[in-house]
Chain A
Amino acid sequence: MKRILSVLIAMTVILSCSINASALIKDEFVDEEVVLRYQYATNVLSSISISSKTATCKSTVVGQSGVATKIVITQYLQKKSGSDWNNVQSWTKTFNQASAIYTNKKSSLSSGTYRTRTVAKVYSGNNYETIKQNSSTATC
């Protein structure tokens, strides 16, 4: 009886160490709930570069070929304030194709830390999914 209980407890501990803890979604977004789905999109990349007080924001959204039919990209230039990120400027454009590159610039920036936030609606017919992704940060 003792041996059986010992084996059961040992198996329980081993199983607990091998659980793939992928249930949690990393919450990087502070202003709304994260809903991430990748049914129509393959990958998303946001980038930012700042030079001479001008920020260049880029969002590249790659949809599944033969599946994605349209992408609506809303791009936010955000500035860090404490632990929050505030929108400085936003742009939106619709691309009637499977993948898209969206680049925008904002000049006369005040000093601070900035990032690009990409919110992409990737459509397949009338259905769509919303993908959100942040870039690394850049300092002005």
Chain B
Amino acid sequence: MNENILKQALLETADDMILKQYSDCENIDFIPTNSFKKKIDKLCKNYDKVSFKLTYTRARKAIVIFVAVLVIMLSSLTVGAVRDAIANFFVTHFSNHADVTYKEPSTKSNQYPKTIEKVYELKTVPKGFSLADCSITDASADTIYFSDDGQIVLQQVVKEKFNESIDNENSIITYETINGQDYIVQTSKISKDISFIWDNGEYVFSLTASLDKDSIIDICENLRIKK
């Protein structure tokens, strides 16, 4: 307890002594050193820089966001239709239809007929369907069969002439490989029709039928050359 009282007395006495000695601060002769001056100058400059960054960054961020929005708007305006390369076809999608054209593989240039040299037909015409129309030109051979409530339309087209517009608004377009053959399949959402487009190596075929999918695949795989 005596030690604590002594400590307290010393502390109080020491403060008083210091205050007495340095009470008149105006009389302190303070001359900053050159290094101190440099530090102060540096601090002042850095303070200015920080202030500038704070204001400039907000504006810069606003500009970046504006530019990003502008890029989005411009890209949506300038980019054309979406184009898929599927097997040997280009499928160019638009808002409510797609254009399907043939794409010649670079390894097989000009190795296909330039005209309709042989005509393909259905091996077996499904029950209830009868031939309604047929047209053969150098560019394509087309056949239509009708039944009481459906149709079969077979189009055989010279590859370089194939350019078909198909509905993609009321149809679902898928790309399928069935028994090793690539197909573009168009399934209607509003009728019984399903269309298959494929390349058999010689010609491009487009078959639309009001039949179940398996029956259509059977037709696709069993076309025969017309005698």
To the question of whether A and B form a pair in one complex, the answer is yes
Least CB distance, B80 to chain A, in whole angstroms: 6
Contact between chains at A45 and B206 (CB < 8 Å):
yes
Q: Of B76, B132, B166, B171, which one neighbours A19 at CB under 8 angstroms? A: B76
CB 8 Å contact bits of A10-26 with B (1 = contact, 0 = none): 00110111011111111
Residues of A within 8 A of B144 (CB): 99-101
Counting residue pairs across A and B whose Cβ atoms lie within 8 Å, the total is 170
Interface residues of A, dominant DSSP: mixed
Interface size, chain B (Cβ < 8 Å): 60
B81 pairs with A22, CB closer than 8 A = yes
User: CB distance B72 to A64 under 8 Å?
Assistant: no
A58-B132 in contact (CB<8A): no
Q: Does the CB pair B167–A43 fall under 8 Å? A: yes
Determine how close the nearest CB of chain B comes to the CB of A41; give it in whole angstroms. 6
Contact assessment for A133 and B165 in the assembled complex, using a CB-CB cutoff below 8 Å: yes
Q: Mark A41-76, 1 if CB is under 8 A from B, else 0.
A: 111111111010000101010101111000000000
What are 12 of the A-B contact pairs (CB < 8 Å)?
A23-B95, A26-B99, A36-B94, A43-B165, A48-B139, A49-B115, A58-B139, A64-B188, A65-B149, A65-B210, A67-B191, A101-B135
- Report the 4 A-B pairs with minimum CB-CB distance, sorted nearest first: A38-B167, A49-B138, A21-B79, A16-B72
